[in-house]
């Protein structure tokens, strides 16, 4: 792999949503810093491509197709990580969707339920399985990907905001419950980041892009690699006394 400083050298890691965007950048960064990585995504071919990229750079990785809203898929995914690497030291729960925008009184129940199934229930199901393994080991670090939208309200995104607010609540509860188990649980809250998901949300609307950029004091979108660095640090022993934190990776945080 390209040179790193070995922040997670020798650790076994799992990344959901690893086929693209922040998840992909995180899987690559973990591998660069010495971890063996299981790349998981509902896009199985995309996950395979990321695992191949890691291997081509000299790292160790496996891939699995997994729908985080399906309890059986999640159990199999975590089992695959343990089978592949013998243990599970780090997990980054990054799978997520935005959902079709809509004002609250017009929002369809299907959109609401699907968004929460992936973004919130998916994190719940992943943490359940990950915690069972890590608690038995007596060590581990979990990083849940929330959002800047997990701390504020955003018009037409009630479903997304509710799900990401919920992730922060789950994170803090799990951190407290595991404070003496050797397992740390944190969240990262990315601001507007240049990912395929955000591009899909903006579509071809120049007005939407200008609105999003106007909300960023830096005048630019974040890069997935910048968010990944925060996730890797929280997975590492450098963050050994950090748990229950919601870390904003977002220039806009300076204006809150």
Rounded CA-CA distance 28/210 in Å is: 30
What burial letters (b/e) apply to 205-217, b meaning 16+ CB within 10 Å? eeeebeebeeebe
Q: In the sheet that 36-41 helps form, which strands lie side by side, from edge to edge?
A: 61-65, 36-41, 12-16, 90-93, 140-145, 183-190, 246-249
Of 160, 201, 233, 248, the catalytic one is 160
Cα separation values, 30 from 20, 48, 61, Å: 15, 16, 10
Residues 37/77, Cβ–Cβ less than 8 Å? no
Residues 18/34, Cβ–Cβ less than 8 Å? no
Rounded CA-CA distance 176/248 in Å is: 20
Task: Specify the residue for token string 């040179």.
Answer: 3
Annotation marks residue 251 as catalytic: no
The token duo for 98 is 């935005």
Neighbours of 122 (CB within 10 A): 26
Rounded CA-CA distance 134/141 in Å is: 8
Helix residue spans in 87-145 (DSSP H):
109-116, 122-137
Q: Kindly report the length of the chain.
A: 256
Rounded CA-CA distance 162/205 in Å is: 25
Residues taking part in catalysis: 160
């Amino acid at each position: 792999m390209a040179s790193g400083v070995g922040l997670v050298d020798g650790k076994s890691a799992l990344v959901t949503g690893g086929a693209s965007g922040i998840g992909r950048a995180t899987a690559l960064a973990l591998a660069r810093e010495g971890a063996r990585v299981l790349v998981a995504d509902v896009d199985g071919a995309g996950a395979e491509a990321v695992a191949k990229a890691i291997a081509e750079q000299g790292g160790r990785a496996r891939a699995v197709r997994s729908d985080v809203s399906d309890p059986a898929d999640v159990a199999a995914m975590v089992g695959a990580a343990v089978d592949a690497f013998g243990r599970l030291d780090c997990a980054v729960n990054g799978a997520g969707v935005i959902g079709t925008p809509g004002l609250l009184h017009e929002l369809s129940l299907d959109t609401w339920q699907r968004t929460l199934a992936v973004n919130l229930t998916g994190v719940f199901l992943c943490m359940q399985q990950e915690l069972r393994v890590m608690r038995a080991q007596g060590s581990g670090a979990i990083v849940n990907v929330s959002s800047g939208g997990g701390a504020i309200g955003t018009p037409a995104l009630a479903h997304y905001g509710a799900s990401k607010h919920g992730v922060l609540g789950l994170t803090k509860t799990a951190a407290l419950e595991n404070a003496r188990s050797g397992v740390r649980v944190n969240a990262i809250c990315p601001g507007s980041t240049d990912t395929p998901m955000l591009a899909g949300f903006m579509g071809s609307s120049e007005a939407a892009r200008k609105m999003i950029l106007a909300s960023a004091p830096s005048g630019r979108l974040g890069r997935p690699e910048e968010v990944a660095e925060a996730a890797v640090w929280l997975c590492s022993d450098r963050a050994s006394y950090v748990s229950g934190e919601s870390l904003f990776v977002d220039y806009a945080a300076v204006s809150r």
